[in-house]
Amino acid sequence: MTTVEKTESARKFLPRIVEKRWDHNPLERAIFDRWQNEGTFRFKAGKGGRPFVIDTPPPTTSGPWHIGAVAAYSQIDMIARSQRMHGKSVLFPIGFDRNGINVEIYVEKHSKVKMRDTPRQQFIDRCSRTLEDLEGQITNIMKLVGLSGDYDRKYHTDHESYRKLTQATFIELWKRGLIYETTRPNNYCHECGTTIADAEVDYEDLPSNLAYVNFKIEETGEMLVIATTRPELICACQLVIVNPTDERYSKLHGMHAILPIYGRKVQIKPHPNAKTEFGTGVVMICSYGDYTDVLLFRELGLKEIIAVDPDGRLTAAAGPYQGLTTLDGRLRILEDLRSQMLLVKTENIRHRTPVCSRSNTPIEIIPMKEYYLKQIDFIPKLKHLAKQITFHPNAGRQILFDWINSIAIDWPISRRRVYATEIPVWYCKNCGTAFLPPPGEYYRPWRDQPPSAKCSTCGHTDFEGETRTFDTWMDSSISALYISKYQLDAKFFKRAYPVSIRPQGKDIVRTWLHYSILRCYQLTGKVPFTDAWINGLGMDEQGEKMSKSKGNVIEPEPVLEKFGADSFRFWNASEATLGSDFRCSEARIAGAHKFLTKLWNLSRFISSFPQVKNAKVLPSDKWILSELALLVEKCRKGYRDYNFFIPATEIRDFVWETFASHYVEMVKPRAYGQGFTKAEQKAAWFTLHTVLKNTLLLIAPIAPFMTDHIWRQLYATKSIHAQKFPKPRWSKVHRRYTEKILEFNREVWKIKKEKALALRDPIEIQVPKALTPFEDDLIRMHSLLTKP
């Protein structure tokens, strides 16, 4: 024995990784701090070339994060980390969307004050304080799960610098005639006390009462039964329609119906919007029960009667029911109809009801004066732009197309709320002409006087400030402009815009994605991003949407505490292919944890062998390297498509099913030097380390903590996250043996099991001819007794 060999056997191949197990809790935190201290992920703008800019969704700071959000952001982090390993200079901004109704509702609930009963400034201050707490909690989770973002330059949509950009873009679009103010029926949420856009309306099948009400026909004196879920709106009825093909009613065309309770008469007309199968097939058209009503009032030029006021109460038009809420009014009019024998019957049905997506309360359609941003004129252009963007997965584009095709109205952008960007407009107290200040400052018209203004119409200098604010999407829709320093750093903007990727959930395609494309195109003439990444949503274990009311929300902190960020991230990446909804289950996360434990133990085992620079590899080594080459190819492709399901599952299968189970078992005797030459032993060491090293690189964006820890103990002092992805530089020729090797090993194990032999026990089995090149390894692996 040489001296070298003596020392080696003396060391008995002790693992160089000292910790016996991966103790995620102290380790992950220490590693994160190290990244921060070393500035591992600091964005270096450089000079030339395009940086890879991620338009990170600024989370709405209106409540603690649930596990689905944490999962989504951990995948966005995989985009950042994998792009760095592709050699890109990555800007991964961390922003917070801190404007609007969501925030206000959260504050109202938690501090038990009502926005409308609190002085404006006081309520604003309260919101700011609450936001600090919430942001702290969310930032903490971001760090726990390992987001490699730019924490030094966090941005906030409620910051002066952001709000003044929103205001400046409004002033610009106003000047270009893309903004107008008008009164028209629109979605109104009483709970939120504001007009909301179609994009913020959800539909729910809610239980409802369908009332069959008698209307007298003026001409014949007969009774006509009309079924309605909104009898309190009878006072606002201007027309009764029947389907032109409905022969039951063809003789009524042109006749008149007399409204019960009110005695006013309205025309009966044939119109295709009347559905013969709903109720009695006769429909009352009133202002406004639903969107059909809005369209018919417009189409037929009917005069609207406002029956519901902005507080959700019936107006004078409702006569005896004035001042009641719509619900109370409904019950009262039903009583009256019943006592007057005008109520034929009522039916319990489920009715597709429009509800506010924020407060979940049914909305009313009432006319309000609001500011609008033009979007109808841009529909053909928007479709064209949607084709320019590469979607991951491709199906995301269809969600956007479907939404664009359904747009029927310009975007109402004014809100009657307070914690949001103010609409920068004052009005002349003398003649009402609007005054817009020059862009570049943050304006609060509800509080401040306009800067040295004189009315352009009458020369008056007394102004009244606008009190309304913007829809929050007015702010968040220009995040791509804000992070690429639009109007702030022309040089950087030119290099960075359009930004590289917009990652987001499919639930906000109709809002965030659509509004971003619309707004940024109107301002720059370009799409805001070249790629859009549309993630599925996190559901509970049964596949149900998580919500507080259902009590099925999974809190992220205990899960991260229990399993660690790497297991959480690996679970999420391997759970579902990009774009599909995924189920959050502790058992599945535990499964991911098991895999990472396997990877840890395997790394520790391999770490006990010396690293050699080069070796003359044997057929078994060539075989596993050929499989590694394929793995590298597949992972690179998965990362290029931002589909982390591919690398996660391919690596798991390779490590578990091929590398650990077969190759490592085959070369154990050789690695320990049992019956092999020194050169052959070295080849095993070389190959074991080559596979481990490359596997760590490939999985680093998904499990960033453990891989960096192992990497720095074994391979380099510099972080694994400063490395590039490997290239598939090994021949794939030996892959032709894969099936046969796996088959043979399984066969031997099966036979030993049947004979109740231990894996190490000798057995008489011949290595098949096709596997002759692997004979030496296979014989020692299975202790095969070959016939002489």
Nearer to Zn ion (CB atom), residue 309 or residue 557: 309
Least distance in angstroms from the C-beta of 181 to Zn ion: 16
Least distance in angstroms from the C-beta of 463 to Zn ion: 9
Angle between helix 514-524 and 160-175 (nearest 10): 70
Instruction: Please list the residues that pair with 661 across neighbouring strands.
Output: none
Tokens read off for 522? 């109107």
Nearer to Zn ion (CB atom), residue 168 or residue 455: 455
Least distance in angstroms from the C-beta of 361 to Zn ion: 6
Least distance in angstroms from the C-beta of 189 to Zn ion: 3
Tokens read off for 690? 């080559």
Tokens 């036979």: give the residue.
751
| Residue 264: how many other CB atoms lie within 10 Å | 14
Nearer to Zn ion (CB atom), residue 457 or residue 677: 457
Phi-psi region of 332 (alpha: psi -120 to 50; beta: other; left: phi over 0): alpha
Nearest partner of 320 among 305, 303, 335, 341, judged by Cα: 335
Distance CA 138, CA 62 (A): 10
Least distance in angstroms from the C-beta of 208 to Zn ion: 19
**3-state class of 539 per DSSP?**
strand
Least distance in angstroms from the C-beta of 366 to Zn ion: 14
**3-state class of 209 per DSSP?**
strand
Nearer to Zn ion (CB atom), residue 356 or residue 418: 356
Least distance in angstroms from the C-beta of 195 to Zn ion: 10
Q: Find all residues with CB under 8 Å of 395, minimum gap 6, and list them.
A: 534, 579
Least distance in angstroms from the C-beta of 363 to Zn ion: 7
Nearer to Zn ion (CB atom), residue 433 or residue 530: 433
Least distance in angstroms from the C-beta of 73 to Zn ion: 26
User: Residue 399: which H helix or E strand, with range?
Assistant: helix 395-406
Which residues here bind Zn ion, judged by CB under 5 A? 189, 191-192, 356, 358-359, 428, 430-431, 433, 455, 457-458, 460
Letter string b/e over residues 540-566, b meaning 16 or more CB atoms within 10 A of that residue's CB: beeeeebeeeeebbbebeebbeebbbb
Tokens read off for 496? 């960075």
Least distance in angstroms from the C-beta of 193 to Zn ion: 8
Instruction: Please tell me what DSSP assigns to residue 655.
Output: I
Nearer to Zn ion (CB atom), residue 311 or residue 739: 311
Instruction: Please list the residues that pair with 374 across neighbouring strands.
Output: none
Nearer to Zn ion (CB atom), residue 193 or residue 538: 193
Nearer to Zn ion (CB atom), residue 197 or residue 560: 197
> Longest C-alpha distance within the chain, in Å?
118
Least distance in angstroms from the C-beta of 565 to Zn ion: 35
Nearest partner of 523 among 444, 402, 439, judged by Cα: 439
Instruction: Say if residue 720 is exposed, middle or buried (CB neighbours under 10 Å; 0-12, 13-18, 19+).
Output: buried
Nearer to Zn ion (CB atom), residue 189 or residue 337: 189
Nearer to Zn ion (CB atom), residue 70 or residue 363: 363
Nearest partner of 230 among 330, 318, 312, 322, judged by Cα: 330
- Please give the backbone phi and psi of residue 343, each rounded to the nearest 5 degrees, phi first: -100, 115
Within a 13 Å sphere around the CA of 40, how many CA atoms are in the beta-carbon half? 25
Nearer to Zn ion (CB atom), residue 192 or residue 400: 192
